[in-house]
């Protein structure tokens, strides 16, 4: 939320994804030429992952989702 009361889906570089509390998360993405990173936090499951790759050819969403599923057993 901004100082004016407007609601946004992003703040300080963090994106809120999903509406279902069981599957919603916040994430921050980054990278540069040849590198890709993601930090994804699942507050309801008290779990999070950080993925750093020296390639931009992988699907970070698939990797992050798989890692969280292994952590929380869903």
pTM of the model: 0.72
Residue 18 DSSP symbol: -
Looking at residue 57, its pLDDT comes to 85
Tokens of 42: 């699942």
Q: Check residues 52 and 9 and name the one with the higher pLDDT.
A: 52
Per-residue model confidence as pLDDT tens digits over 14-73: 888 888 877 789 999 988 888 889 999 998 889 999 999 898 888 888 999 999 999 888
Looking at residue 13, its pLDDT comes to 81
How many Cβ atoms sit within 10 Å of the Cβ of residue 64? 20
Q: Are 37 and 50 in contact (CB under 8 A)?
A: yes
- What are the residues facing 37 on neighbouring strands? 30, 52
Strand 14-17: give its sheet, edge to edge. Answer: 10-11, 14-17, 25-32, 35-42, 47-53
């Amino acid at each position: 939320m901004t100082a004016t009361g407007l609601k946004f889906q992003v703040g300080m570089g963090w994106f809120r994804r999903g509406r279902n509390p069981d599957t919603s998360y916040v994430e921050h993405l980054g990278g540069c030429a040849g590198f890709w990173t993601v930090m994804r936090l699942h507050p309801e499951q008290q779990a999070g992952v950080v993925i750093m790759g020296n390639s931009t050819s992988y699907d970070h969403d698939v990797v992050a989702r798989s890692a969280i599923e292994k952590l929380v057993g869903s």
